[in-house]
Amino acid sequence: MAVETPILVTFIAYLALMILLGLYAYKATNNHSDYILGGRSLSPSVAALSVGASDMSGWLLLGLPGAIYTSGASEVWIGVGLVVGAAINWVIAAKRLRIYTELANNSQTLPEFLSNRFNDQAGYLKTVSAIAILVFFTFYTASGLVAGAFLFEEVFGFDYTMALLIGTLIIVSYTFVGGFFAVSWTDFFQGILMLIALLLVPCTIYFELGGSDAISQTIPPELLSFAPTAGIIALVSSLAWGLGYFGQPHILVRFMAIRSADDVATSRNIAMSWMTLSLCGALATGLIGAAYFAAEPLNNPETVFIFLSKVAFNPWIAGLLIAAILSAVMSTVDSQLLVSSSVISEDLYRQFIRPKATDKELMMVGRIAVVSIAALALIIAQDPKSSVLGLVGYAWAGFGAAFGPLVILSLYWKDYNKFGAIASIVTGTLVVIIWPELKELGGLFALYEIIPGFILAAIAGVGVSKATGGSCDNVKQQFEAFSQKL
């Protein structure tokens, strides 16, 4: 495939801007707290778009449009579940987590918050949560690298392996240098670019094809139906994606970093507006792509946004729009790498190896961790047949089941104790790992694994907490102090 010079130039300019933002953030990063949480200084708009961009990833521009291109509007129920889940997460978790993490000894990471929340001086809870985060984030990061590889493969004609290496190198470079400031500010600009692209591309092709009447005559009627095609189990499984929000560390850490608890409502309104419009754009892209390419179907459905961008606009604009895919990929992978980095440096290295490590030492350990996790994800992503949606779905379920009930119970129930918290993490993790192996049995086993994982993790947390006597007095006193601050 010949590379068009305008697309190449646009891509290089965009990447240069991201690297410059990373270098700027490097100068603003004065200590380890700045590197992993940005000093709790995110404005409402930056926090909102950072949440959205780090959440949606390449799934928004590749996975979801590809699913809709193949199966039609019935795939939109995943998006509906996500919107509802995200909105509830903002309402019930964001403000409480911002207040409680600061009250609990100014906790910088989710495992550190859990350790301080439950007075786990031995560090068992911190260790279990850190391991679960690293396992699922490695798979989640791999999904982003696969999406980036698809992009470079289709746009520049690289073979899959070369495309994978280039995408990984780009993302690791500015995350390694700039930390949380770099990730948050790049997410802010990437979120804006993603929204513009998802609205502009389908609208342009819509008018080119002649409007809704012409489109409806081009594609099979079943693709336009919102009715689930695979039955009630499939519908419930799609809607259940919303459960995942309560346990996603890279989203929860944005709540922790908002400048003030008073800014949460403003940030929530911006984030939900962005998300709703973006998902509508992804739905439209898939359906309009099915109409445009009806005569010559695409080999890889997940590239529908790429090809629509190239046929709808001149190479200069197309290059900028295709860069939006790279934005989606980068904005999620960098967040995942940073959270993994903070877990290794703060929750494992400082806890068990060097309790008195300096900020400079911890930042170096964190940067080494970024490279290490990226290398492991790179190995997982080596298979060119990997599905972006498949890898995301597995990691999403893992976090949702292992940490969703844990976070909610931690913020709302004072008798929840460290034994119950560990039981929640272990139960949710095991169910997500084992359940997919049982899907061949059909029936309820066909459910998305986040559903049984979430339910059983919640039951385990409550049951074990009650069986072990509930919380100690210190934990109850801290919870009461938190309740008064709300």
Q: Is the pLDDT of residue 329 over 60?
A: yes
Beta partners for residue 162, in sequence order: none
> What's the confidence (pLDDT) of residue 1?
44
- For residue range 422-454, list pLDDT tens digits in order: 999 999 999 999 998 888 888 888 899 999 999
Q: What is the mean pLDDT of residues 295-303?
A: 86
DSSP state letter for 300: S
Whether the Cβ atoms of residue 329 and residue 147 lie closer than 8 Å to each other: yes
Q: What is the mean pLDDT of residues 256-262?
A: 91
29 vs 468, more confident: 468
How far apart, in whole angstroms, are the C-alpha atoms of residue 142 and residue 4? Answer: 28
> What's the confidence (pLDDT) of residue 340?
81
Encode 268-288: b = buried (16+ Cβ within 10 Å), e = exposed. bebbbebbeebbbbbbbbbbb
Q: What is the mean pLDDT of residues 175-180?
A: 59
Half-sphere exposure of 113 (CA within 13 A, CB side): 24
> What's the confidence (pLDDT) of residue 91?
96
pLDDT-above-70 percentage for the chain: 90
Across the chain, mean pLDDT equals 84
265 vs 371, more confident: 265
> What's the confidence (pLDDT) of residue 424?
97
Half-sphere exposure of 192 (CA within 13 A, CB side): 8
Whose tokens are 């692209």? That residue is 197
> What's the confidence (pLDDT) of residue 52?
84
Q: With CA atoms as reference, report the closest residue to 223 among 281, 283, 280, 279.
A: 283
38 vs 395, more confident: 395
> What's the confidence (pLDDT) of residue 277?
94
Domain 5-485 = CATH 1.20.1250.20: no
Beta partners for residue 42, in sequence order: 258
Q: With CA atoms as reference, report the closest residue to 318 among 206, 155, 207, 171.
A: 155
Instruction: Enter the pTM of the model.
Output: 0.83
